[in-house]
Amino acid sequence: MATREATWAYRNEFHEQFARTYFRRFADGLVSSVGAGTYLGDPTDAADDRYHAALVEAFESGVNVVDTAVNYRHQRSERVVGRAVADADVDREALLVATKGGFVPFDGARPDDPAAYVREQFPEHADAFVRGNCIDPGFLGRSLDRSLDNLGLDAVDLYYVHNPETQLEAHDRETVYGMLETAFERLERRAAAGDLRHYGVASWESFRVPEGHESYLSLPEVVRRARAAAESVGNAATSFRAVQLPFNVRMADAFTVAAHEGAEGTQSVLSFAREAGIDVFTSASILQGDLAAGLPDEVAAELAGDTPVQRAINFARSGPGVTSALVGMGSPEHVGENVAAGTHPPLGADAFDAVFE
Residue range at the interface with ligand NAP (CB under 6 A); choices 36-44, 84-92, 143-151, 253-261: 36-44
Q: How far is the first Cα of the chain from the last one, in angstroms, to the nearest whole number?
A: 42
Which residues are CB-contacts of 159 (< 8 A; sequence separation ≥ 6)?
98, 99, 100, 101, 144, 147, 187, 190, 196, 198, 199, 200
Should residue 204 be labelled a site residue for ligand NAP when binding is judged by CB under 6 A? yes
> Residue 55: is it exposed, middle or buried by C-beta count within 10 angstroms (0-12/13-18/19+)?
buried
Should residue 287 be labelled a site residue for ligand NAP when binding is judged by CB under 6 A? yes
Q: How many residues touch ligand NAP (CB under 6 A)?
A: 28
Q: Which is nearer to ligand NAP, 222 or 284 (CB)?
A: 284
Residue range at the interface with ligand NAP (CB under 6 A); choices 2-10, 114-122, 260-268, 333-341: 333-341
Residue range at the interface with ligand NAP (CB under 6 A); choices 147-155, 179-187, 221-229, 321-329: 321-329
DSSP assignment of 158-219 equals EEEEE-GGGGGGTS-HHHHHHHHHHHHHHHHHHHHTTSEEEEEEE-SSTTTS-TTSTT---H
Q: Which is nearer to ligand NAP, 160 or 230 (CB)?
A: 160
* Residue of minimal Cβ distance to ligand NAP: 37
Tally Cβ neighbours within 10 Å of residue 153.
21
Should residue 61 be labelled a site residue for ligand NAP when binding is judged by CB under 6 A? no
Q: Residues 238-257: x/- map of binding to ligand NAP (CB under 6 A)?
A: ------x-------------
- Calpha distance 341→314 (Å, rounded): 7
Residue 26, classed as helix, strand or coil, is strand
Chain positions 37 to 56 lying near ligand NAP, rule: CB under 6 A, are: 37-41
Q: Residues 150-189: x/- map of binding to ligand NAP (CB under 6 A)?
A: -------------x--------------------------
Should residue 269 be labelled a site residue for ligand NAP when binding is judged by CB under 6 A? no
CB 336 within 8 A of CB 320: no
Task: Figure out which of the listed residues 94, 134, 286, 347 binds ligand NAP, where binding follows CB under 6 A.
Answer: 286
Should residue 67 be labelled a site residue for ligand NAP when binding is judged by CB under 6 A? yes
- Calpha distance 147→158 (Å, rounded): 12
Residue 247 backbone class (left: φ over 0; alpha: ψ -120 to 50; beta: rest): beta
CB of 80 to ligand NAP, least distance (A): 12
Which residues are CB-contacts of 127 (< 8 A; sequence separation ≥ 6)?
none
Should residue 329 be labelled a site residue for ligand NAP when binding is judged by CB under 6 A? yes
* Structure letter (DSSP) for residue 112: S
Residue range at the interface with ligand NAP (CB under 6 A); choices 116-124, 127-135, 173-181, 277-285: 277-285
Strand duo 29-32 + 34-37: pairing: unpaired
Which residues bind to ligand NAP, rule: CB under 6 A? 37-41, 67, 163, 202, 204, 244, 283-289, 292, 309, 326-331, 334, 337-338
